[in-house]
Structure 1
Amino acid sequence: MSAHEKINYVEFAAKDLGATKDFFRKAFAWEFTDYGEDYTAFSGEGLDGGFYQADLATSAERRGALIVFYSEGLEETLEKVKKAGAEITREIFSFPGGRRFHFREPSGNEFAVWSDKGL
């Protein structure tokens, strides 16, 4: 449900839409709806959004927005994203309130996963 003046949708560039969709299917069991050859959307994943074909990517090191997933089992999620083909850009580290790691999916976009479990 859309809420007035609240974050509703996020879009990411994807160098390889097929590889990006395959990664998120394998790592997190996401489903996609294609809108033509250059756009695919996801919903019900905590925040709705999509990927559009472009030779761009976002990362924290370039001061782009960092989307952070939550996990009740950080080590298990780390193994899932590795198996699905992610590049781990920061191994698990502690910070006040939890632990997290960062990864880059096949199109080069960087995400993070955090947990307050297992501290």
Structure 2
Amino acid sequence: MSSINNHINYVEFKAKDLEKIKDFYSKAFHWTFTDYGPTYIAFSDSGLDGGFEKTDGEIINGALIVLYHENLDWIKSSILSSGGKISKDIFSFPGGRRFHFKDPSGNELAVWSDK
């Protein structure tokens, strides 16, 4: 399935122990996992692809909804001009780049691109 601009494309959760979380979801729901180093695992076979990021901090709202857009600079400008705030500027990761933003109510989401 190809990525479509402005659609929810990925969901990311926090986890204290990646091996435990991988074991749980693979046994309970038969999700499959790809390891991306010691602090990140991606999952598939869940209906919507996503991942778990290792954290030692308190997990309050552990889900991060990730949208897709092929032009990060353009969508970043659109978010800013629409009243959003950038909470983590554009950064690279294996497979692409992304940034985080907060909507006017303070909900944090992210936008990623493989371009």
TM-score by length of 2: 0.48
TM-score by length of 1: 0.47
The structure in which a higher percent of residues are strand is 2
